[in-house]
Amino acid sequence: MTRIAVRVAQLWIIPVTFLVWELTTRVAEAIYFPPPSTILVHLYEQWFSGPLVHLFLTQDAFDHLLPSLGRLILGWAAACAVAIVVGVTLGRLAVLADFVNPLIHFFRSVPPPLLIPIFMTLTGVGTPLQLAGIVFGVVWPVLINSLDGARYVDRGYLETCEVFGLSRVQRLTRVVLPSAAPKIFAGLRLSVALALIMMIISEYIGSTEGIGYRMLVAQSQVDIPSMWTAIVILGVLGLVLNAAFLRFERHVLTWHRGARKTD
């Protein structure tokens, strides 16, 4: 058997789980747990049975799925960019970092969903609220990890820079950033999950569109299959984002795994 076949075979538990789920839900006729086949059919009808010109997306998908995704990506990317820049800067300015460190750790400890009602009194309902929520949720872990990564660069690396007269820019881009990268990536990975959580919560509380909003509507109408399709979409989204991120990280940090293996 080829390696791929072996790996696929190792996933046998997933179809088995689906099968067991299908059978038990059919036998038990549980109201809140429709069989997976029902959910899949509903998933197709509700979200992906649109015309070809719309890439098979339905009106529901246009109204709820795309806005959610757009805000998720925009908020996450913007927050990460800011957090990395600020974090690395603070990491290289140790004294300044000492002054803001408690503040950063305090903000990081605030459960970000609590901020949504506060933001809502400022922004009202809608996209700015979602963006603010996602940004606040994402910024702190990325900032703290970037700060730590940039702060604890091995002295051996820095002395090498000094000896060979590397310029400040070179030192930052060729040495400090790569050496902080594993730490930064750890923060980014954490932030993907937080961004998703904040997207969903902010749509539950203050939105008139988005998957979370659609899900809450389904819940209030006791439209169980619709609710489950939203759960499936969010689950797949979490799975895909996580997998894509791991793949990207593995690609960028090849050296890190290699260097660690030989240590």
Partner 1 sequence: MINKKALRGAVGAAGFLLILEILGRVGVIDPYTLPFPSSILVSAAGLLANGEFLLDVGVTLSSCLIGLLLAVVTAVPAGLVMGTLPAVERAVRPLVEFLRPIPSVALLPLAMFLFTVSEQGKIALIVYTACWPLIINTLYGMHDVDPLAKETLRSFGFGPYDVVRLVSLPSAAPFISTGVRISASVALIVAVSVELVAGGEGIGTFVTDAASGNRRDLMIAATAWTGVIGLLINSLLAGAERRIFRWHRAQAGEELVR
Partner 2 sequence: MLEISDLTHSYGEFRALGGVNLTVAAGELVCIVGPSGCGKSTLLRSIGGLLRPTGGRILVQGRPVQGTPDDLAIVFQDYSRSLFPWMTVADNVSLPLRRKISDRKRRAAAAREALEQVGLPAAGGKYPWELSGGMQQRVSIARALAYQPALMLMDEPFGSVDAQTREDLEDLVLQVRRTYGMTIVLITHDIDESVYVGDRVVVLSKSPATVVGDLRVEVPEPRDQISTREHPDFVHLRAEVGRLVRGVRSPSASAP
Are 25 and 33 in contact, with CB atoms under 8 Å apart? yes
Please list the alpha-helical segments (H only) found in 93-223: 94-109, 115-123, 127-151, 155-163, 168-170, 177-205, 211-220
Residue 52 interacts with partner 1 (CB under 8 A): yes or no = no
d(CA 35, CA 24): 8
Element (H, E) at 16: helix 13-28
Please state the closest distance from residue 142 (CB atom) to partner 1, in A.
12
Taking the least distance from each CB to partner 1, the nearer of 89 and 242 is 242
Q: Which of 15, 51, 102, 258 binds partner 2 (CB under 8 A)?
A: 258
Question: How many residues are recorded in the chain?
Answer: 263
d(CA 200, CA 196): 6
Residue 259 interacts with partner 2 (CB under 8 A): yes or no = yes
List the structure tokens of 153.
Answer: 């660069």
Q: Which of 37, 44, 162, 246 binds partner 2 (CB under 8 A)?
A: 162
Please state the closest distance from residue 150 (CB atom) to partner 1, in A.
16
Binding partner selected for residue 238 from partner 2, partner 1, none, CB under the kind-specific 5 to 8 Å limit: partner 1
Binding partner selected for residue 178 from partner 1, partner 2, none, CB under the kind-specific 5 to 8 Å limit: partner 2
Are 183 and 145 in contact, with CB atoms under 8 Å apart? yes
From residue 166 to residue 205, the character string flagging contacts with partner 2 as x (rule: CB under 8 A) and all else as - is xx--x---xx--xx-x------------------------
User: Contacts with partner 1: how many residues (CB under 8 A)?
Assistant: 57
Taking the least distance from each CB to partner 2, the nearer of 93 and 166 is 166
Binding partner selected for residue 159 from partner 2, partner 1, none, CB under the kind-specific 5 to 8 Å limit: partner 2
List the structure tokens of 253.
Answer: 């940090």
CA end-to-end distance (rounded Å), the chain = 33
Stretch that binds partner 2, among 16-24, 114-122, 200-208, 251-259 (CB under 8 A): 251-259
Please state the closest distance from residue 145 (CB atom) to partner 1, in A.
8
Element (H, E) at 236: helix 224-252
d(CA 91, CA 261): 27
Residues at the contact surface with partner 2, assessed by CB under 8 A: 154-157, 159-160, 162-167, 170, 174-175, 178-179, 181, 255-256, 258-259, 261-263
